[in-house]
Structure 1
């Protein structure tokens, strides 16, 4: 990585120019008060120093970068050699430029004797060098902290992706085993019906495999998986026992969410709640987009609940899996509630909508 990235070069030159103008303006006032007759001289004095200081500051920054992690005695020894070199280069560059300009305009210029220059300029250069070292150290520390933060964030994202993949992998076996159990209950009573259910299941599994490869899909695509599953369950229990209601507007259907997110809770609503009611059960899915957030609801209501079959307050394995997936994907930005709703149960989710 270059010491001064390309995008910072123009701002750096502009900063040096502004500093030079401010110093020159201040020096001009003192110059006029002392009786000076050439107003350009203060500008030459200051701007002869600024380019040399600007280049040397980059050199100090590079040196501080190379000294990172080195033993303290070695760093002190390097600085003891670098400080005189810094001052010597600054003095040589500054007075070399001044002498050149004065010669071009044919004006006599006599700097102070070299020992006096070394003492006067050397003292200022020592303060400047130490200041640059401290600033550079802070810059390198900030860059290192930013790099560590980026690496930590990348590791967190990778960990979240691995965790999401593991949780998603749990959905298909859980759903598949339950569905096969449902089909096995009718295969000896109605072979043709069991065969039809198996064909529907095969089609559904092909769709879920494709969805899992995408990892993320729109709510509309998710409902395209849920609807065949509910049709399969209606074929299993009969339309008189299981009524399906899906209400999702176009804006909500465009929101993206983790693939196979709804299959497990819908399966729970059918598997557990149809068994808990002797009569008709209505399973409803509602989705709305409000203020940039997707509000999803999955509910079930039965006509005659069985008193001794109390629902699992945690919603079973499928909903525990759902909670973990939402936490891994959205963190605190997602909300989920599950509990009684009149004569049935309701699951409500609120997620950020990424379309």
Structure 2
């Protein structure tokens, strides 16, 4: 039984017991019709055979596993050598047990002569051996297929994680360079303000670096990054020109999502709409949870547009990054919609909410 994992030992013994009982009951009827008077004899015959076949079947299973992948000639030669050993051990063990039990109960037992036993039992053992080989081969092939599937799934997960990490790495340089460009535009006009902006930027970068190490965090953590970024942008443009509104349901705050997912869309909304409008720009970040779905919405509306040119339908690099990250993480379970909505530009993303 050492060839079986511990969790399979009891089921294996139970299976042998059930098979032994079925064979014994079937043999008992024929035994009675032939005039037999000791009802326990058919049970002894069947269970003595199964008691030896049980361990031998495990040995055949191990042999088939060791031969898997070798040339068919090597496999055939090994089985031709193993079959006589299998049959000899079965016959010796089975009749050894029977002689022992008959001797203990004081009942004479005279098996057939050895040549007859070898022919009669050997033929049955050949059928049993071939059956065990076929079953074992199927089990080994199923196990190999399962292992390959697990390895494939693991490779896919690792590839997805690497892809997510690559996409996440794109966020920070994109955000950093644009923010530095914004700061550079005021550094000669108001040195004190530029200094404050740089300090705020340093604090924000420390938080984004920590977020990238986590790969995934809650919406509450994500908004904790978005809010200081928007505060930085308000300090740059002025609170009268850039109005920020953040609204998130309490149920939505515990939903998990890829780190830095909202930063690029929010940055795009600020950058492009402030550039396209002379007056006030209102930016809204909203999050709601509907059952097992998280709905994120980033919209912006300007009072006095400079020009009515249509925005990039793909939403620029930041929104392409968002689409790719959601596709890599959730597949078809996530969706992104971007376009005009009631005089404003709106980005809506829906994804599974995992708390």
Deviations 1:5-36 (A, max 9, x none): 11111111111111111111111122222222
Please report how far the alpha carbon of residue 299 of structure 1 lies from its aligned counterpart in structure 2 after TM superposition.
Answer: 1.1
SS of the aligned residue for 1:337 comes to strand
The aligned counterpart of 2:151 is: 151
Deviations 1:195-240 (A, max 9, x none): 2211111111111111111111111001000001111111111112
SS of the aligned residue for 1:313 comes to coil
Please report how far the alpha carbon of residue 3 of structure 1 lies from its aligned counterpart in structure 2 after TM superposition.
Answer: 3.6
TM-score (norm. length: structure 1): 0.96
CA RMSD of aligned residues (A): 1.3
For 1:73 and 1:196, the matched residues in 2 are separated by: 80
Please report how far the alpha carbon of residue 275 of structure 1 lies from its aligned counterpart in structure 2 after TM superposition.
Answer: 1.5
The aligned counterpart of 1:163 is: 163
The aligned counterpart of 1:227 is: 227
Q: Which runs of 5+ in 2 are unaligned?
A: none
The 8 Å contact of residues 303 and 343 in structure 1, kept in 2 or not, is answered as no
SS of the aligned residue for 1:151 comes to helix
Please report how far the alpha carbon of residue 315 of structure 1 lies from its aligned counterpart in structure 2 after TM superposition.
Answer: 0.5
For 2:253 and 2:344, the matched residues in 1 are separated by: 25
For 2:309 and 2:269, the matched residues in 1 are separated by: 14
The 8 Å contact of residues 255 and 294 in structure 1, kept in 2 or not, is answered as yes
- Structure 2 matches for 1:92-131, cutoff 5 A? 92-131=92-131
Counting matched residue pairs gives: 354
Deviations 1:122-169 (A, max 9, x none): 111111100110111111111111111111222212211111111111
The aligned counterpart of 1:266 is: 266
Please report how far the alpha carbon of residue 263 of structure 1 lies from its aligned counterpart in structure 2 after TM superposition.
Answer: 0.4
SS of the aligned residue for 1:175 comes to helix
The aligned counterpart of 1:352 is: 352
For 2:122 and 2:339, the matched residues in 1 are separated by: 77
The aligned counterpart of 1:52 is: 52
The aligned counterpart of 1:13 is: 13
Please report how far the alpha carbon of residue 293 of structure 1 lies from its aligned counterpart in structure 2 after TM superposition.
Answer: 1.7
Please report how far the alpha carbon of residue 338 of structure 1 lies from its aligned counterpart in structure 2 after TM superposition.
Answer: 1.2
Does residue 70 of structure 2 align to residue 80 of structure 1?
Answer: no
Q: Which runs of 5+ in 1 are unaligned?
A: none
For 1:62 and 1:289, the matched residues in 2 are separated by: 54
SS of the aligned residue for 2:251 comes to helix
